[in-house]
Structure 1
């Protein structure tokens, strides 16, 4: 399937790649029912949807809800198939649907789409929390602009609504322009107070949901309720990653091999899940602001000749390992506590006592399969 907001183009092929049917359907109730009927004419069917975490998410979840088996085909994978198949990368909806179908036919390790109501809810609330954060930043920026015009030199950089209100109370302009400016400033302060209340409520709700799910991500230094919710929602089942190197490649913290001949070098990866990469960046920044083992690791890397940016990238790679171990331990504990299992001692996911080293943490490519937690983890807290 090549999905769009209001339409979806499907191509049905058999296990030899022969095209059996092609169709274009609307994504409204009627069009979806027609598409589902067309697909259910074939036994042992599997739906391959391009971008099930993006534009195809709405229709992929509807299919899963209706009991269908759905695979997620990354857009980059289908794009590669399209280029090699046609030779010119010509892009139409039927060509895209054929590329998605062929990519699914010849790719054995595609992720199966599953819907966990708790994770869907966490993702929605994490999105809302991010929106509130952006709205607060925009409001504070507008407030600073007005305060700069009201007070010589403006206000301090990190300004709370209470501090802004106390500052505005000290000035009483007499001219019409000044009075208007002050009124607008008071209105922005009221907006900021409202956003702060919503952020506080959102954080409390996310904290409760993350805790109820049995996650201990918030115990890590630099991971708050919204970051933990984002990790849980976007990662889903941590077992889908063969090892920590696969996880690092997915979140964009694993460097890319750019070696040529005798020159051995790596470059920054700008691929991967950028939202999770941002979570790791915020976690690293928070750790650098305090006396943590993360700060000690960063200083050790700089002492070894790394630049600040290179040391930061190494730290983010280490933090990716820490999060992977923690989520793996949480998942195993959750599985043992589920019906049919029992609670018990979990694998050690402690991340204290950093021993800086670079061998496994800076591998640009995934290594051998290994989902066991390191008995003596060199993590960062």
Structure 2
């Protein structure tokens, strides 16, 4: 056996600390001992060079990548195309960084060690189906909704200090009529019209922006409804679940739903799994403030909708109130139950396996 054959037979683990322009990669052996580290550009050529460099060190037993859904998304795709098993690695916590310091090589080695030790096991999202399309459109719609809300706030604030003749014409109007009136204003020349003309120009500009954003949001919503119905029609049939909450939950889970192996894993991912906070003879749980907060918000929206319209949910609330539970505690229990229900809808095969 040659020296080259011996080297190739070595089992190594790859860790990558990702950034916008460069990725820092590190290799460790199965015991977590450092082998080598190097920096590569975030280009197709850079990914090829990283694969060649890592392959030369030995047989790749696992790869840990930070930010597989952001800066590391393209690299994760290249690694998967090469047939390497990739797992998501969380950023080191603050206490660890205080002890060890912070640098790209340190983070890359930490990612490799996390894979070698089995601490990192989360499968990244595949980003190759309808859910990726939903994510892009959903984020764009959310940004447009925020911009429209900011525009309305600016318009109303401007009316407070507008000249009397402008403010009196627009006083007491509903939101829709206020936007139409402001968009149809015909101010005179700003050079001779003074503050009134300038205010009308500003109000018209904001109103036209509001109308444009409303049209943009409506178009995005139509596309989102088509994609969410195709991706998860059964989810939309659940009480209290609309296309917006469906979109967010699908984004949280990803295209490869099988990566969420149990309903407890989904609950933890959405931040609705209670966390043990027991000590001595006192047994209690505390609120989970981790997980995907947007998914947590989506579950909260579903629960509030059911509390208003679903008789079974309302009966559950009354029963738990009679037992001495607070409204907040009841909502937390309901969110956990909704997460369980959603998992069974998204993973019907897992439901059969767990029964």
Please tell me the TM-score bracket, short chain as reference.
0.7 to 0.9
Counterpart for residue 103 of structure 1: 114
1:112 paired to 2:114: no
Aligned residue for 2:233, secondary structure, equals coil
Alignment root-mean-square deviation, CA: 3.3
Aligned to 2:133: 121
Deviation at 1:228, TM superposition (A): 1.6
Q: Which runs of no fewer than 5 residues in structure 1 stay unpaired?
A: 333-369, 376-381
- Output the CA distance in 2 between the equivalents of 1:189 and 1:298: 43
- In structure 2, how many angstroms separate the alpha carbons of the residues matched to 1:295 and 1:185? 45
Structure label with greater radius of gyration: 2
Aligned length: 328
- Say if 1:148 and 1:154, in contact at 8 Å, map to a contact too: no
Residue correspondence of structure 1 range 20-31 to structure 2 within 5 A: 20-31=35-46
Moved more, 92-101 or 315-324: 315-324
Does structure 1 retain, via aligned residues, the 8 Å contact 2:235–2:346? yes
Q: TM-score, normalised by structure 2?
A: 0.79
How far residue 323 of structure 1 moved from its aligned partner, in angstroms, is 1.4
Distance in structure 1 (CA, Å) of the matches to 2:183 and 2:25: 63
Q: CA deviation at 1:94?
A: 1.4
Give 1:185 shift: 2.3
Note if contact 1:148-1:155 (Cα within 8 Å) is conserved in structure 2. Answer: no
Change (3 A) 1:297 1:199: farther
**Structure 2, gaps ≥5 residues long:** 1-15, 162-166
| 1:323–1:188 CA distance, 2 compared to 1 (3 A) | same
Between stretches 264-273 and 277-286, larger displacement belongs to 277-286
The counterpart of 2:335, out of the listed 316, 323, 341, is 316
Number of the residue aligned with 1:69: 85
The aligned counterpart of 1:274 is 293
Q: CA deviation at 1:302?
A: 3.2
Give 1:109-258 correspondences, 5 Å limit: 110-113=121-124, 114-149=126-161, 150=167, 160=175, 162-165=176-179, 168=182, 176-236=194-254, 237-258=256-277
4+ aligned runs moved over 4 Å, structure 1 = 151-156, 166-175
1:16 aligns with 2:27: no
- What aligned pairs does 1:358-377 form with structure 2 within 5 A after superposition? 371-372=351-352
Aligned-residue offset at 1:373 = 8.3
1:64–1:115 CA contact under 8 A, matched in 2: no
Asked whether the 8 Å contact 2:232–2:346 carries over to 1, the reply is no
**Is this contact kept in 1: 2:26–2:35, CA < 8 A?**
yes
Question: Secondary structure of 1:97's match?
Answer: helix
Q: CA deviation at 1:130?
A: 1.6
**Compared CA separation, residues 169 and 59, structure 1 to 2 (3 A):** closer
Structure 1 length-normalised TM: 0.74
